Amino acid sequence: MEILDQITRHYNYVITIFLMIAGVYIVVAKSNMIKTLIGLSIFQASVYLLYLSPGKIIGGTPPIIGEGYEVYSNPLPHVLILTAIVVGVATLAVGLALVVRIHEAFGSIEEDEVLRELEHE
Amino acid sequence: MVLLTLMALITLAIVRVRNLFAVVALTGAFSFLMASVMMVLDAVDVAMTEASVGAGISTVLMLGALYLTKSREAPPRFSQVIPVVVAVGVGAVLVYGSLELPGFGLADTPVNTHVGEAYIQRVMYDADIPNVVTAVLASYRGYDTLGETAVIFTAGIGVLLLLSRGRGEDSQADGGEEGGGDAS
ipTM of the complex: 0.85
Residue B40 has pLDDT above 80, yes or no: yes
Let me know if domain A2-120 sits in CATH 1.10.287.3510: yes
**pLDDT in the model for residue B181:** 46
pLDDT tens, residue order, chain A (121 aa): 677 776 677 788 888 888 888 888 888 888 888 888 999 999 999 999 888 888 887 777 787 777 777 778 888 888 889 888 988 999 999 999 988 888 888 888 888 888 888 888 7
In eight-state DSSP terms, residue B170 is -
Q: How far is A5 from chain B (nearest CA, A)?
A: 10
Q: In angstroms, rounded to a whole number, what is the distance separating the alpha carbons of residues B176 and B174?
A: 5
In eight-state DSSP terms, residue B76 is P
User: What residues of B are in contact with residue A72 (Cβ under 8 Å)?
Assistant: 42, 120, 132
pLDDT, tens only, B100-110: 777 777 777 77
Domain boundaries, chain A: 2-120
Cβ proximity of A95 and B65 under 8 Å = no
CB pairs < 8 Å spanning A and B = 273
Q: Does any CB of chain B come closer than 8 Å to the CB of residue A114? A: no
Q: Does any CB of chain B come closer than 8 Å to the CB of residue A94? A: yes
